[in-house]
Each structure stands twice: as structure tokens, then as C-alpha cells.
């Protein structure tokens, strides 16, 4: 064995610390939730914004009961999409502004764990906002059918797809100076399929459509979720590296 | 411990590093000096696996970059002029988070040890946003050594610190280096660099323009060596 080989084998001793993918992901989720429940910056911004949108629609659309029921899905998804964008921007900006993104990237873990950690916490924030906005909507629009389990299931599927693509794009846009403007410009065109499918599926459920009638948008939602989670898993490393 | 050969980094048409040959032996404390825009931060970010080299080879702790970057990151501690800390978490929660990200199980004793080393054991339950800049920088060093790395990279750690905070940071840096770690530090503070480092490399216009040990510099002084290197 040559001297060089000896040195290399000595240097490459087994490492003491290597986190598992799951543990690193959950560490990020716990960190985000702890920080947010203490500061409440992101959630309060998303909530106030959502409530304002619901209120504005309520006063702007002076509709009879029948028409009002037909716009429910559209109003709700418009609210969720705009509030979600606000949350996505803020969630990634917190990492970037104090250099914490570098801290995450320096951890000896597969970088897609960072994506999953951020995506799960973003999804949690969006679901919390939705859980507060839905009763408010039901109260203002006298619409209680939105609490049926299948409708809530569509909201969950739509939120997963929106957050998956949103987290990936916010990691890209946060590195630019115009991040606040850039994220919606990038996100809305890419998220059109998930938003259209969500509106179609939830609108169908409210209008008592048969399962066969909402099968197409439902399938589209599931396929979109799977594809964008897989794409984010594969490309996140390249997105965050200089 | 660190070795780069013909390292080139380009951003678009602009070449920042033009073939840097650089090596550091285990236990050495190298001060990387140079004017603004010389490429010091870019060079450190490549060593930290935060940026990919355009050309050339990089080895840290026996592992190649960028192919073995996770292995390199496990052996590396990085402190920059940004603290890389979460202001809405306490000092202890920040260290707990980073301990989990490095896979440290039963991190309690290690966190207590690190907080003691940086002199913040009495502020462990205080939110980081209530800390002064100096305290944040000391906690940032605690964050960087939580996994007991073999190699430490400091990117202008004195930026924004007052005299007292800088002196406290001196002590922390000395204790970090005293554990036999290999250290590379960029700085514009020549007096502090002279006090801490065992070797001085001048990075200018994308290459290592000059290199001298502490012994060499004692014959003249660091400032004249630095000025001469930039003129040459």
C-alpha cells in the first residue's frame, strides 16, 4: 500500500454523525412550526388576507342563493391560492434573509429532505388557514355543504399539489431581488392544472355530481400531486445550489 | 486536509477564481486575505459545498467535491458574517435543531458544553432575536461546532462587531483552533488575523498571489507583506 493510499484510508474513517432523511425532514417541520407558533407572522398574514378576500367577495357579489352556490368553489380556491402564495413567499424568505438556507444546505443530509420539510410545514400552515376560513365562509355564504368529507378531501389534494409546486418555485424565486413579484408570476401558470381540477372537483361535489363526473378532475389532481412531488425530489438540489 | 487544484469559478462571463492552487495541512490555521471582490467568499463557499466549481478539483477531509459533498459537510463547520440562526427560537432550540440536522442523538450534554464554550449558558432559554450582534456571532460559532467538525471555515466573522465583542470572539476562535481543528478564515482585520493564524495567503484577482507562514511575517509585518503581495 502506498503512502497516499494509507492517508486516504485514514482520512475516510466512518463518520460519527449522519441524520436519517426522515429525522432531518421532521426537524425542519418542528423548527418551522415552533418558530411560527411563537411569532405568528406568517399565519396571521395569511388569515387576515383570506378573511378580507372572503369579505370582499361577499359584498362585491350580490348574488341570489343559487348563483352564490355555483361560485363557492371558485371563491374558495381563489382565496386559498392567494393566501398560499403569501405563505410560501414568507416561509422561504425567513430562511434566506438571515442566511439560514445556507445552514440547512450545510447539513450532511440529502437536500430533498429540506424540500419535504419546508413543503410539509407550508402545507400545515395552509391547512390551518383553510380550517379557519371554511367555517367563516359557511357563515357568510350560508353554505354548509363544504363540510362534507369528500369536499375536504379535494381541498387536501389540491393543497398538496399547490404547495408541492409552490415550495419548489419559492426556493427559486427567493434567490432573486424581485421574489415577491416573481413567485406569483412563476407559480400561477404552473399551478393552473391543479387549480382548475380543484375547482371542477369541488364544484361538482357541491352540485351533487356523480362520482363518474368528478373522476377526471380527481385523477388529474392525484397525477399532478405525484408528478410535482417527484419532480421536486429530483431537481431541488440543483435549484438551491449556485 | 484541504486541497484545491486549478480551481476555476465563473458566473456567466465573469471569472471569479482563475485556477486557485491551495492546500492546508491538518491543524493549520490559515488566514485568507485579499481586497473586496478578490473571490474569498466564493472560494469558501466552494470549499463548503455551497457552490459548484466550474473547473478544477477540490478535496476536503479526504473527500472530493462536489461528488462526496454530504461526507464533506459532515466534517465541516462554517461561520459567516450572517449568523444562520432563527430569531424566533431560543439559543438552545437553535442548537437542538442543528444537532438534529447533523443526526446527533442525546444532544443535551453537547449543547450545554457548546453554550459554555461560547459563554452563553445563562442565556440558553432566551430568544435569539434579543441577542446582541456579538452574542449572535458567538452562538453562530456554537452552531458550527455542535457536531465537532474537523475543518472550520470562517468568512469575515468580525463583520459588524464592536471592540468588546471582537475580543470575546478572539477567545472563542482560539479555543476552537486549540482543539486541533483545521481552520481557514477570511478577514480584512490584519491585526486579528496576525494574532490568530499560522499561515497567511493573499487571494488577489482570482489567484493565490502570495503565501507566508507566521515566522516569515514576524521578520517584517503582515501589513507590508499584504501590500507587497497586492503590488506584485
Task: Provide the CB-side half-sphere exposure for B84 (13 A, CA).
Answer: 24
Task: Provide the CB-side half-sphere exposure for A147 (13 A, CA).
Answer: 12
User: What is the distance of C-alpha B225 from the center of its chain?
Assistant: 22
The answer to whether residue A166 scores a pLDDT higher than 60 is yes
- pTM here is 0.88
A103 touches chain B (CB under 8 A): yes
Position A16 scores a pLDDT of 54
**A242/B62 Cβ within 8 A:** no
**B75/A107 Cβ within 8 A:** no
Per-residue pLDDT of chain B in tens (232 residues, 90 and over written 9)? 889 999 899 988 899 999 889 999 888 899 998 888 888 999 999 999 999 999 999 999 888 888 888 889 999 999 888 889 999 999 999 999 999 999 998 889 999 999 988 888 999 999 999 998 888 988 998 999 898 888 989 998 888 777 777 887 788 788 877 777 889 999 888 888 888 888 999 888 888 888 888 888 777 787 888 888 777 7
Question: Considering only CA atoms, which of B218, B189, B224, B213 is closest in space to residue B24?
Answer: B213
Q: Which pLDDT band holds residue A1 (cuts at 50, 70, 90)? A: very low
Output DSSP code: residue A195: H
Decide: residue A74, CB within 10 A, 0-12 exposed, 13-18 middle, 19+ buried: middle
Of B49, B76, B87, the CB nearest to A98: B87
Task: Provide the CB-side half-sphere exposure for B4 (13 A, CA).
Answer: 25
Smallest CA–CA distance, residue B228 to chain A, in Å, is: 33
The answer to whether residue A7 scores a pLDDT higher than 90 is no
The 10 Å Cβ neighbour count of residue B191 is 11
Smallest CA–CA distance, residue A60 to chain B, in Å, is: 39
Position A50 scores a pLDDT of 93
Which chain A residue is nearest to residue B61, measuring alpha carbons? A11
Task: In chain B, count H helices and then E strands.
Answer: 9, 10
**B84/A98 Cβ within 8 A:** yes
Position A17 scores a pLDDT of 65
**A39/B101 Cβ within 8 A:** no
Smallest CA–CA distance, residue B39 to chain A, in Å, is: 15
Mutate to test the interface with B, among A108, A116, A175, A239 (most CBs of B within 10 A): A108
Smallest CA–CA distance, residue B179 to chain A, in Å, is: 17
Q: Which pLDDT band holds residue A43 (cuts at 50, 70, 90)? A: very high
Position A13 scores a pLDDT of 43
The answer to whether residue A222 scores a pLDDT higher than 90 is yes
Region A186-202: what's the mean pLDDT?
93
Give me A177's grid cell. 431581488
Amino acid at each position: 500500500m502506498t503512502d497516499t493510499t494509507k492517508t486516504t484510508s485514514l482520512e475516510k474513517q466512518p463518520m460519527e454523525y449522519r441524520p436519517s432523511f426522515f429525522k432531518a425532514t421532521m426537524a425542519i417541520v418542528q423548527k418551522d412550526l415552533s418558530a411560527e407558533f411563537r411569532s405568528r407572522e406568517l399565519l396571521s398574514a395569511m388569515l387576515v388576507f383570506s378573511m378580507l378576500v372572503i369579505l370582499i367577495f361577499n359584498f362585491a357579489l350580490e348574488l341570489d342563493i343559487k348563483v352564490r352556490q355555483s361560485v363557492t368553489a371558485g371563491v374558495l380556491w381563489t382565496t386559498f391560492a392567494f393566501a398560499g402564495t403569501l405563505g410560501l413567499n414568507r416561509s422561504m424568505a425567513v430562511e434566506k434573509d438571515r442566511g439560514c438556507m445556507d445552514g440547512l444546505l450545510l447539513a450532511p443530509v440529502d437536500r430533498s429532505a429540506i424540500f419535504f420539510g419546508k413543503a410539509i410545514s407550508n402545507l400545515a400552515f395552509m391547512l390551518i388557514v383553510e380550517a379557519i376560513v371554511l367555517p367563516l365562509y359557511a357563515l357568510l355564504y350560508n353554505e354548509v355543504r363544504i363540510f362534507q368529507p369528500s369536499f375536504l378531501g379535494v381541498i387536501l389534494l389540491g393543497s398538496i399539489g399547490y404547495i408541492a409546486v409552490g415550495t419548489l418555485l419559492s426556493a427559486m424565486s427567493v434567490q432573486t431581488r424581485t421574489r415577491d413579484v416573481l413567485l406569483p408570476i412563476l407559480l400561477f401558470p404552473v399551478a393552473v392544472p391543479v387549480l382548475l381540477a380543484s375547482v371542477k372537483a369541488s364544484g361538482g361535489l357541491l352540485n351533487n355530481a356523480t362520482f363518474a363526473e368528478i373522476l377526471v378532475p380527481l385523477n388529474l389532481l392525484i397525477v399532478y400531486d405525484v408528478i410535482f412531488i417527484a419532480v421536486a425530489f429530483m431537481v431541488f438540489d440543483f435549484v438551491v445550489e449556485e | 486536509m484541504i486541497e484545491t487544484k486549478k480551481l476555476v469559478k465563473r458566473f456567466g462571463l465573469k471569472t471569479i477564481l482563475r485556477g486557485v492552487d491551495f492546500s492546508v495541512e491538518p491543524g493549520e490555521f490559515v488566514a485568507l486575505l485579499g481586497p473586496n471582490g478578490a473571490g474569498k467568499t466564493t472560494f469558501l463557499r466552494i470549499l463548503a459545498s455551497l457552490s459548484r466549481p466550474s473547473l478544477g478539483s477540490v478535496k476536503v477531509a479526504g473527500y472530493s467535491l462536489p461528488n462526496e459533498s454530504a461526507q464533506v459537510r459532515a466534517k465541516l463547520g462554517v461561520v459567516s458574517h450572517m449568523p444562520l440562526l432563527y430569531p424566533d427560537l431560543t439559543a438552545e432550540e437553535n442548537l437542538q435543531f442543528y444537532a438534529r440536522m447533523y443526526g446527533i442523538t442525546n444532544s443535551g450534554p453537547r449543547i450545554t458544553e457548546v453554550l459554555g464554550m461560547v459563554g452563553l449558558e445563562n442565556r440558553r432559554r432566551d430568544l435569539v432575536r434579543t441577542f446582541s450582534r456579538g452574542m449572535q456571532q458567538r452562538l453562530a460559532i456554537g452552531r458550527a461546532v455542535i457536531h465537532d467538525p474537523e475543518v472550520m471555515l470562517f468568512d469575515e466573522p468580525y463583520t459588524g462587531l464592536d471592540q468588546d465583542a471582537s475580543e470575546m470572539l478572539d477567545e472563542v476562535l482560539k479555543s476552537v483552533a486549540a482543539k486541533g481543528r483545521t481552520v481557514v478564515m477570511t478577514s480584512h482585520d490584519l491585526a486579528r488575523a496576525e494574532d490568530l493564524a499560522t499561515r497567511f495567503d493573499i487571494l488577489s484577482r482570482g489567484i493565490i498571489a502570495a503565501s507566508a507562514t507566521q515566522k516569515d511575517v514576524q521578520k517584517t509585518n503582515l501589513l507590508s507583506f499584504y501590500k507587497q503581495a497586492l503590488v506584485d
